[in-house]
A = this chain, B = another copy of it.
């Protein structure tokens, strides 16, 4: 069948042809279908049977353009293949943290997957001041397992090279290359500056050669360090949570890239959640401090959990194989030193990527709800001055911050030091 852009009325007929769907939903005579996509790229539908409303699923279709802009921004549907592949790969590694793919139709660029009915978007939950007891544990485990198993440390060298070739995602990488690493660091037409953010501060950043160089170095790393299969867009809006579960969704940006990229984006988004609580918790009539402490504790546990799990997976894999990246000789002190420096280098990269993310979400095209939703321009700008300042510090000091506690201290100082 040629590609057809489906809609609420045509989707039902399509779904009746898919055995895994009819098996799940049961009575297919009357379906409830609602379009719920709030992302920039694709269309997303919730589908359930009226006769059996508890049975429900998600349908995601990529059209040959960007949803946010329309046909004026053409985009191939290749991203749907990349997303389905990543959902299956990450799902095989972490079935408890990735929605199950029930059906993928490459010709229709259509993924049918498990609906997370009892889960909330993490970004929205953090704006509301909610806590999730397993958040850092789950996300750090997801990061360690997905990033380790895509790398040369687990795959054979040739299988890894083939994986790099088979997961090229040039169109969506280019969005990242432009909108994360390039445009926000110059006075580009695509940037969006909030009304009360002082132009002098924007100009100061754009005229800081050391900052522009650091951003360009992170861009080079993103484009050239083909270390592992990344989620590629792991902000808090790509996470669905409740009190017991954590799911990572929407990996259409998946590509080979640096080990520090996904952890860095998550850290940056936790820092943004942290800094924005000086508005959100006060609006809710609360003292922000306890929730802010909880948020930074999540960032700390996330990094420590990730690095410990990654090192444990590495050690176990090499112990089992009887050989390792450094060779066959089981020289414990060399291995320990190599692994320590390896994780230290991932950490520097992660801080650099976090710095880019903080700055691009403030000056670039795509904003985050916890800041963009602040209606008072002055209050919003006050938060934005902090996200910029923290982003700048992380980028410039990424090689000198020696552990996650120093990074958390930097976040605390940034919050306190500005008016």
Chain A contact residues, CB within 8 Å of chain B: 152, 157-158, 160-162, 164-166, 168, 170-171, 173-174, 177, 182-183, 185-188, 206-207, 209-210, 212-213, 215-217, 219-220, 223-227, 325-329, 331, 333-334, 337-338, 341-342
Quote the shortest CB–CB distance from A155 to chain B (angstroms): 11
> A337 — which chain B residues lie within 8 A by C-beta?
209-210, 213
- Write the chain B residue with the least CB distance to A168: B161
25 contacts between A and B (CB under 8 A): A157-B173, A157-B223, A160-B223, A162-B170, A164-B164, A164-B168, A164-B226, A165-B168, A182-B326, A182-B327, A185-B326, A185-B327, A186-B331, A188-B327, A209-B334, A210-B337, A212-B338, A213-B341, A216-B326, A220-B325, A220-B342, A224-B225, A224-B226, A224-B227, A225-B225
> A224 — which chain B residues lie within 8 A by C-beta?
152, 225-227
Q: Kindly state the separation between the CA atoms of A338 and B173 in the bound complex, as whole angstroms.
A: 22
> A329 — which chain B residues lie within 8 A by C-beta?
186-188, 206
> A331 — which chain B residues lie within 8 A by C-beta?
186, 207, 209, 212
B158 touches A162 (CB 8 A): no
> A158 — which chain B residues lie within 8 A by C-beta?
170-171, 173-174
A177 touches B162 (CB 8 A): no
B333 touches A183 (CB 8 A): no
A334 touches B212 (CB 8 A): yes
Q: Kindly state the separation between the CA atoms of A342 and B217 in the bound complex, as whole angstroms.
A: 8
- Known contacts A152-B224, A186-B328; 11 further A-B pairs (Cβ under 8 A): A164-B168, A165-B165, A182-B326, A185-B326, A188-B327, A207-B331, A209-B333, A212-B326, A212-B334, A217-B341, A226-B226
Q: Kindly state the separation between the CA atoms of A341 and B166 in the bound complex, as whole angstroms.
A: 32
Q: Kindly state the separation between the CA atoms of A206 and B327 in the bound complex, as whole angstroms.
A: 12
Q: Which of A173, A213, A219, A227 has the most CB of B within 10 A?
A: A213
Q: Kindly state the separation between the CA atoms of A220 and B345 in the bound complex, as whole angstroms.
A: 12
Set B161, B174, B338: member contacting A213, Cβ < 8 A: B338
> A165 — which chain B residues lie within 8 A by C-beta?
164-166, 168
Quote the shortest CB–CB distance from A149 to chain B (angstroms): 15
> A173 — which chain B residues lie within 8 A by C-beta?
157-158, 161
Quote the shortest CB–CB distance from A372 to chain B (angstroms): 24
Quote the shortest CB–CB distance from A16 to chain B (angstroms): 38
Q: Which of A164, A183, A206, A217 has the most CB of B within 10 A?
A: A164
> A341 — which chain B residues lie within 8 A by C-beta?
213, 217
